[in-house]
Amino acid sequence: MENIKKLIDEINSRKPKNYKQMKIDDISKELHSVMKYEQTILEKINTFENDHQNLDLIKYAKISCRNIIERETILIQNAYLEKIDSEYLNSK
């Protein structure tokens, strides 16, 4: 159970970066990084689930992970679209 709590703390301590300051290539790399992070966290959660550890904490970890990843993905998408729009509009 302590491992699940540590994982939840890790998930909740994840802070988004300032994607609007990044170049498009860096934003793309960040999106890949967030996706990889999500896969890693979900693998850990599945391990806890397979060990039949505290199901309420596992459910909470899944919800936290989904919310954090969703938030970061939206920030990345917005920054990416703004960069594309500004570069496209500036090239006209």
For residues 34 and 66, give the distance between their C-alpha atoms in angstroms, rounded to a whole number.
11
| pTM of the entire predicted model | 0.81
| Biggest distance spanned by C-alpha atoms of the chain | 58
* Across 5-9, 71-75, 85-89, least confident range: 85-89
pLDDT at residue 92 greater than cutoff 70:
no
In this predicted model, what pLDDT tens digit does every residue of 19-69 receive, in sequence order? 989 998 999 999 999 999 999 999 999 988 888 778 899 999 999 999 999
pLDDT at residue 3 greater than cutoff 90:
no
For residues 62 and 44, give the distance between their C-alpha atoms in angstroms, rounded to a whole number.
10
> Residues 48, 3: contact at Cβ < 8 Å?
yes
More confident residue, 66 or 84: 66
> Residues 69, 13: contact at Cβ < 8 Å?
no
